[in-house]
Structures are given as C-alpha cells and as structure tokens.
Structure 1
C-alpha cells in the first residue's frame, strides 16, 4: 500500500567497505551509499532539513509534498570521510546524532571498537551547509531501563557537551537503539529538545509525535527494491500508531533484565547488539 502522507526518514549508521563485524549488518559501502542518494534524487522526493520538519510537526508551515529526511546515528569517522562529501555533492541535507562519550579523545569508549569522529573533526564539519548535529546520549545506554536520575543525565549531559563544544544550540535527540517510553520522552521534552528520533521501522508523517519520530533503518541488505518502495511511500507502516504487543513485551523483558543485572553495559555479551529489536 502506498501512502501520500508517508515521510521516509532514513536512518544510516556507518558508511565504509570494511566495517567491524559488530556494525557490519548496519553498514553501507560508499559506492552503494552514493547509489542510495541518487535513488532519493530520482524518486521525486523533496529532501528537507530537520528544522523544516520540526516546524511542520509543531504546527508551522506545511512540508513539501513527498518529503524525505536523511539521518545518521552514533558519530563514526566514516561519516566525514565517505558520507558527508556525497551529501554535499548532491546538495542533500542530513542530521548526524552523536554519542558524546564515544568521540575521541575519550577515556572509556562506550561503543565496541570502531573508528569514531574526534571532537576536532566534528567541529570542522559542523558548519557544513545542510548538516544538523543532534544528541544521541552520552554512553548509548538503553534509556528506558535506567534509573531516573541516570536517564536524565544521559539526555542533558549529551546536549550540554555538544553545545559547549560546538557553540550552538542542539535541539534534537535520537534515542539509543530507538528505545524510549513516556518517561524518557518527557525527560527529552523537559531538557528542551524540540524533536526526538525513534526507529520503529516505519514512515513518519506530518502527524507524527515530535518526540518519537519514526525512522526506516537502512541495513547492509537494504536493496534497491526496498529503498524504492520506501521512497514511494510503501513497504512500511505510517506513524502515528500504537505499539504492538511484541514491542511492549520486548520492553518489559529488557527492563526486567536490567533490574536483575544492575543496569549493565547494554553491549556486553551481545554477538550482534545492534541487530536486536530496535524500536
């Protein structure tokens, strides 16, 4: 089914040919990424930046018909080397959500081994036309399983660090793993963010929740047929919609596990951590 209201918000992670195994399922090669961007342009979709989308979600001027957004999570070094130049070449806006404690130099990297951006590198690209920088927490923890004070610190400290380093407002947040609940969303609103990105593997829309924007997770095996379907407004649900029983059950299981283990590092003991249930 095609939907005229669907707004595909594409979520990428890493763009490189030789990713570490743990992130490989969610990595797209540079050449393939370029082909993705060319398909976006050929689709007739109108690329919009985050500010324009935020304005529409909050009741401002409407979006262009058939809009599309491009986002990245985590802050890998390959974004600056391989992704950003191709976006700039095609005049495509994008938003990069940064896990602040993962950027170098760092004393205790919160993510498994991977080449991350440095703070100097982030500052160098921050003024690139069309690029927006957002917060993605400090340590990429599952926010909906954390004690309330720690959850608030993850949200507010990541924003404050980015604003200090970049000397500009940071108004959008992306939930690590996409995990959130009502308390987490309220904390994000209280911290002053105007939008927040979830995942949900669904299209967003003009009526989506500004603090739970649905995105379509681009994987290594996301082929042309699937991407074209998304760009046509098909192949996935359109937000807003209620959580289904599998999502609710997964959330309860994760909270129970966290209580039993004392809120451990969410990456510990996972062979393929990102390939789990991301919502």
Structure 2
C-alpha cells in the first residue's frame, strides 16, 4: 500500500510517502525477484473463479490519488509492464466535484484517465475520505455511491474494487460497499492477504518513507516480523475500540434526540 510518491511531499503525507528513487528500487526488486503484480480486480476474479493466484503474486496499490502517482510511479510501472490499482477519493480531486480536505497535490481527472489507459485499475476510496464506520447510514451510502458515480462519469468504466479510508471498516461498512456494486475491497492491518480472508476485508502492508529495501524485501516475501508493525497493530486495535464506542454513543444520542431522554 502506497500513498504519495514525491521528492518533497507535504508535511501531512510525508510519513506515508516514498521517494521516486525508493519506488524505482522497489519495482526493480519485484522484477528481479520474479514477482507477478496483479490488479485488485484480477485477484478478485481469480478468487471468484476458484483459481489460485500466480506464484509470487503481489498487488501494487495507491490510496487517495496524489499527483506523484502519475508523475513518478506511472513511468516506472510502464517500464516494468506492471499493473497496479489506484483508489481515488473523488472529492479531493480538483474540478467541479471538488469537496476540499485534500492533504497534498492531487491528480487531475485527465491524469486519472491516463493512468487507466496505462494499465492502472481505478477503484473507489470514498468521496471525502471520512472514517466510514463513524457515519450514519445515509452519509455512508452517499460517500460510497457518490465516489462510484463520479468514477463512472469521469472514466467511463464502473469500478469494481474499493479501499477503506484509513483502512477502517465494520460489517455495516463492508455490506454497504458490496451493496453499492463493488466486488472486493481492501483494508490495511499490515499483514499479507490470504484466501481465508473475506474478499471485502483483504489486508495490505504499508510502504512508508522509512521503508528500506531490506524491510521491503521482508514485506513482499512474507518474512515481515512482528516488530515491523507492532506499534501500528497495537494502535490499530486500541483505536478500533475507540471507534466502536464513539459509534455506539452517536447512535444512542440519536435515539435520545428522536424520542427524548430515557428514564
């Protein structure tokens, strides 16, 4: 899982960015190691057909829709003939659908279309990048459906893959993604995906600014140790409890607001 690819990322995206040089080294490693990159849609199709993925299969994914994916990543993907998947927060992109809140320079819709023409699968990542599991049912539906609607409108193709903003989901969120017409979706959890997982909760491994080539090798070869993501996992589990509690409180407050205080 990548985000920004940039020499000089914004402060808000720096930790979750990689330099163009590091990305080039990582793509060389994948080619030299005999890895077979797939799009998320290709993996989902294999899964539904009951077929095994190719040996040493790997997904190269980008979240949010930062401009550096077109400027820096696309030429390297083309060089290696690697497919990839880009998950776009449609309201962050400039143009008539812009909703604000973006953290760095974003792709234009023209660049999104060029990425699609270059073999990059375009998937959904919500409209404004909220924590989907904290939204009301109405707002949740809007975020997913509006994202899908704009991707169809701007690219001419219906997206089949989705990635949860922040990696957060719940049974309600996953069902909403499925009901909106997506066939598979990606979380984070910093663990390799496996056939035991739901196609609507596939895990990914985060590549960061500080991910050196030795750590990258451990990630893609399945040799990542617990300490590589120990802090992330502890924080993730703790914050999951916080999010569930917040959601329960909001639902309870909504009930009180509708029916008055309970004795």
| Category of TM-score, reference length = shorter chain | 0.7 to 0.9
> What is the aligned counterpart of 2:109 among 94, 114, 119?
119
- C-alpha displacement of 1:259: 7.6
Aligned-partner Cα distance in 1 for 2:235–2:108: 38
TM-score, length-scaled by structure 2: 0.86
Q: Hey, what does 1:109 align to over in structure 2?
A: 100
TM-score, length-scaled by structure 1: 0.81
Cα displacement string for residues 16-68 of structure 1 (whole angstroms, at most 9, x for unaligned residues): 11011111001111111100101111222222232321122224322112211
**Does the 8 Å CA contact 1:57/1:209 hold for their aligned counterparts?**
no
**Does the 8 Å CA contact 2:133/2:247 hold for their aligned counterparts?**
no
Q: How many residues are matched?
A: 244
Q: Hey, what does 2:41 align to over in structure 1?
A: 51
Q: Hey, what does 1:161 align to over in structure 2?
A: 150
**Does the 8 Å CA contact 2:41/2:184 hold for their aligned counterparts?**
no
Structure 1 stretches lacking a partner, 5+ long: 1-10, 238-243, 263-279
Structure 2 stretches lacking a partner, 5+ long: 227-232, 252-263
**Does the 8 Å CA contact 1:136/1:175 hold for their aligned counterparts?**
yes
Q: Matched residue of 1:12: which SS?
A: coil
Which structure is higher in RCO with an 8 Å CA cutoff and minimum separation 6?
A: 1
2:153 is aligned with 1:142: no
Q: Hey, what does 2:207 align to over in structure 1?
A: 218
Aligned-partner Cα distance in 1 for 2:198–2:244: 23
> What is the aligned counterpart of 2:194 among 199, 202, 205?
205
State the Cα RMSD in Å: 2.1
- C-alpha displacement of 1:188: 0.7
2:188 is aligned with 1:194: no
> What is the aligned counterpart of 1:70 among 50, 60, 76?
60
Cα displacement string for residues 109-145 of structure 1 (whole angstroms, at most 9, x for unaligned residues): 1223x110112222233211x2100000000000001
